[in-house]
Amino acid sequence: MTPKISFRDVVKSFPVKGGSFTALNGASLDIADEEFVTVVGPSGCGKSTLLSMAAGLVEPTAGEVLVDGEHVRGPGPDRGVIFQQYALFPWLTVRKNVEFGLRLADLPPGERTRRAEHAIELVGLTEFADALPKTLSGGMKQRCAIARAYAVDPAVLLMDEPFGALDALTRVQLQDQLLRTWSQDRRTVLFITHDVDEAVYLARRVVVMAARPGRIHTVIDVDLPYPRTEEIRLSPEFGRIRNEVWHSVYHQAAPLPT
């Protein structure tokens, strides 16, 4: 079966003063349709660069990025992106921000409103639907950005540390809610995180990246059943996989100066 997303020997270099900097040095990865894959790795190892190439926002210097077997040529409504920094229009309310994501979708009257309302409800912002972003907390702004991607109902969700700025409780709630929508709608999810527990809790496979040069270090299977529950989070098997991922991330990170 054709993978949903394929990275084949992907290299990404950026021009820098006096030469070029290799952010990714030959990354290969196939993600199956309806798979949930998380990516962890030290800061600067090329996680966001990898995701931006699947989103069609960054072009590879060499190699190929394919979605449904087709070269990615730019962004598309089949792929919803949630960025590391929440990107909201400050002059639009929560509702209008969420509806903005639907502007290109050819929807019957009322459907746009209905979809936006549903997505806002999923992230728990119904009470704040008519608020402007400046009146929201950081976590609420990020939930609004998440609702915007959910509303489009894309086949692929590309999420770059979407829960990074949230408090622990909201984070766990949104993880469970994301897993629920994923199991209902059978999307393909590529999800970057700094949090090893989060990476293991969500994924079927965890991709561990390494820096200098950025590359895929190893891919670890998470052989735990869905739905994931608190019981699974506390199980010895979860702990074992978390330790394996943590060990793999930690042991290839450069020490900070003392």
- Chain residues in the site for ligand ATP (CB under 6 A): 14, 21, 23, 41, 43-49, 84, 214
Min CB(44)–Mg ion separation in Å = 8
**CB nearer Mg ion, residue 48 or residue 252:** 48
**CB nearer Mg ion, residue 1 or residue 16:** 16
| 157: enclosing H helix or E strand | strand 156-160
Q: Are 190 and 159 in contact (CB under 8 A)?
A: yes
Min CB(204)–Mg ion separation in Å = 22
**CB nearer ligand ATP, residue 47 or residue 95:** 47
154 contact choice in ligand ATP, Mg ion, none (CB below 5 to 8 Å, kind-dependent)? none
Nearest to 183 by CA among 151, 223, 123, 226: 226
Rounded to whole angstroms, the Cα distance separating 29 from 37 reads: 10
Query: Residues in contact with Mg ion, total (CB under 5 A)?
Result: 2
Min CB(121)–Mg ion separation in Å = 29
Considering all CA atoms of the chain, what is the largest pairwise distance in Å, rounded to the nearest integer? 61
If DSSP codes are grouped into helix, strand and coil, which group holds residue 97?
helix
Which residue in the shown chain puts its C-beta closest to Mg ion? 48
Nearest to 40 by CA among 174, 155, 201: 201
Q: What does residue 50 show for φ and ψ, rounded to 5 degrees?
A: -60, -50
Site for Mg ion in 35-94 (CB under 5 A): 47-48
Query: Residue 193 interacts with Mg ion (CB under 5 A)?
Result: no
Q: Are 5 and 188 in contact (CB under 8 A)?
A: yes
**CB nearer Mg ion, residue 155 or residue 190:** 190
184 contact choice in ligand ATP, Mg ion, none (CB below 5 to 8 Å, kind-dependent)? none
**CB nearer ligand ATP, residue 194 or residue 233:** 194
21 contact choice in Mg ion, ligand ATP, none (CB below 5 to 8 Å, kind-dependent)? ligand ATP
**CB nearer ligand ATP, residue 6 or residue 48:** 48
80 contact choice in ligand ATP, Mg ion, none (CB below 5 to 8 Å, kind-dependent)? none
Structure tokens at 191: 């999800």
Q: Where are the beta strands (DSSP E) in the chain?
A: 5-16, 19-31, 36-40, 62-67, 70-71, 79-82, 156-160, 188-192, 205-210, 215-221
Q: Are 113 and 99 in contact (CB under 8 A)?
A: yes
Min CB(154)–ligand ATP separation in Å = 21
Rounded to whole angstroms, the Cα distance separating 44 from 31 reads: 22
- For Mg ion, the binding residues (CB under 5 A) are 47-48
